[in-house]
Amino acid sequence: MTEIVAVSGPELITYADELAALLVETVDSGASVGFLAPLDREAAAAWWRGRAAEVDAGHQRVWLARDGERVAGTIGLHLTSLPNGRHRAQVTKAMVRPSRRGQGLGRSLLAAVEEAAAAAGLTLLVLDTETGSPAERLYRSAGWTECGSIPRYAGDPAGVLKPTTFYYKAIDGAQNGSAGASTAS
């Protein structure tokens, strides 16, 4: 059984090495998540440790999908401090270990973020992904709406510029639910 939990800044530091392994595997598998291959594991761990202050400050939230102490996936939510945007957030760094893909874990992570956003009173979520990536199927099937693509927006892990597609989802802030832990199979 996989457990999905929101983590604090200190917990994020504790899991930085596991998250680094996940990030390296994700980049090595060809997924475009902002990093180029080959990604050094220590650099990846340092990047995760650098997010801890953002989590503690309330600007970023991070969830882990854990199989015991092993991290099977993660997803983040970047909150804006701009007065005219406090109703929205950006979903970031949605990743599932290649060995766990296709088992519903990505959908469970996405649902955890949506539930937490609703509980926090957010009404709009946005995200982007490489156009044509397998992640697009997940987002569309989870009710996300495509709002456009930008050509040559980001480099894939090999550095080749690819188009990126942007999605949004309106969230019912009146939904009930816990932003804490949930379980997924």
Which pLDDT value is given to residue 43? 98
Instruction: Give me the pLDDT at residue 92, please.
Output: 98
Instruction: Please report the pLDDT score of residue 185 as a whole number.
Output: 45
DSSP label of 36: P
Q: Give the per-residue pLDDT at 78.
A: 98
Residue 85 makes CB contacts below 8 A (sequence gap 6+) with none
pLDDT at 174: 40
CA–CA distance, 149 with 167 (Å, rounded to integer): 9
Residue with tokens 């949605």: 94
Peptide bond into 38 cis (omega under 30): yes
The token pair at 26 is 């994700």
Report pLDDT for 177.
38
d(CA 98, CA 5): 20
> What contacts 99, CB < 8 A, 6 or more positions away?
none
Q: Which two tokens stand for residue 153?
A: 């927006």
Nearest to 86 by CA among 39, 135, 122, 129: 122
Q: Are 15 and 39 in contact (CB under 8 A)?
A: no
Tell me the pLDDT of the chain (185 aa) as tens digits: 899 999 999 999 999 999 999 999 999 999 999 999 999 999 999 999 999 999 999 999 999 999 988 999 999 999 998 999 999 999 999 999 999 999 999 999 999 999 999 999 999 999 999 999 999 999 999 999 999 999 999 999 999 999 999 999 999 854 433 334 444 44
Alpha helices in 65-180 (DSSP H): 105-119, 135-141
Q: 46-63 burial by CB neighbour count: b if 16+ within 10 A, else e?
A: ebbbebbebbeeeebbbb
pLDDT of residue 69: 83
Q: What angle do CA 84, 77, 26 make, to 5 degrees?
A: 140
